[in-house]
Amino acid sequence: MNVIDLPKEHEELFFICLEDWSDEAKEGVARRRAWYSKMKERGLRVKLALDGRGVVGGMIQYAPIERTHVDGEGLYFIYCIWVHGHKKGRGDLTGRGMGKALLKAAEEDARALGAKGMAAWGISLPFWMKASWFKKQGYRKADRDGMAVLMWKPFVEAARPPRWIRLTRLPQPVPGKVNVTIFSNGWCSAQNLPVERALRAARELGDRVVVQEIDTFEPADFRRWGRCDALFIDGREVRTGPPPSYEKVKRLIEKRLRKLR
C-alpha cells in the first residue's frame, strides 16, 4: 500500500469519489470541481491510497478548520475519508487498512503543518464515516447534532474542542409559491446530487415554484445560516443522505403544489 498526495492525473477521479463506473456520481461533479479549485488555495489537502497494484482505492480530504463549516481554531478538519467499497469499478477494497493508513498520513501532515489537533465528523449509526471508527482511532466526541457527531483528537494540551454551528434561520418564504431552499457548499459529490435534482425539478414544475439557493462556500456566509449542505421544501428539511432520487424530490415538490390555494 502507498499513500500519496493527489496528483493532477487523478483529480477527476477524486471529484467523483473514485466511482468512475457510476453515471450518478458525475451529476454533481461540476460543483465539486469548482469547490476544489477554490479550496486548494485555502489549505485543502488531499491524499490517495494505492494498493499493491497501484490501483487508487481510498481518499481523504482535510483543511484548516477556520476555512470549513465547523467552529474551531488551530485544527485541521477531515471532510471525509473514503475507501472504495463497491464490487463495481475498482472493486471492494475495504478491510485492508487503507482507512487507517490515510488517517495516519493526514494526522502526520497536519502535525507537520503546526496543527493543534484533528477533527472529523462521524455518524452515530453504523454507516459510512462511523463515529465509532474514529473512536477506535483515538478520537473523542466534541459535539453532536442529531446523528452527526463531531470527533476530535488533540495534539497539544492547549487545543480547544471544535463545535458544530447550527441552523439559525431560513430565507423568508414567497407567499403563494412552493419555496425550495438549497444550501450548497460543493465539497461533497453526494450532497451535490440533491441540489442538481431540486433545481431540475423546479424548472420543470414552472413558476409556482421559487428556488432560493444559498452558496455556503465562504465561512462568513455559512455562519449567517448555520447549514452547509441542505434541502428544504416549504421550510421542511429533506433528508439528503443517501441522496434522494430526482423522482422523489419532484414528488415532494408536487405534493406541496397540490396544497397551494
Stretches in the chain below the pLDDT threshold 50: none
> What pLDDT shows up at residue 205?
96
> What pLDDT shows up at residue 25?
86
The CATH number for 238's domain is 3.40.30.10
> What pLDDT shows up at residue 215?
97
- Tell me the C-alpha distance between 18 and 78, whole Å: 17
8 with 131, same domain? yes
> What pLDDT shows up at residue 71?
97
> What pLDDT shows up at residue 126?
73
184 with 159, same domain? no
8 with 132, same domain? yes
User: Which tens digits make up the pLDDT trace of 119-139?
Assistant: 999 998 877 789 999 999 999
- Tell me the C-alpha distance between 96 and 16, whole Å: 22
- Per the structure, the complete domain to which residue 101 belongs is given by 2-164
83 with 23, same domain? yes
19 with 52, same domain? yes
* 171 falls within a domain: no
158 with 48, same domain? yes
CA-CA distances (angstroms) from residue 245 to 70, 101, 185, 251?
28, 34, 20, 10
User: Which tens digits make up the pLDDT trace of 159-211?
Assistant: 999 999 998 889 999 999 999 999 999 999 999 999 999 999 999 999 999 99
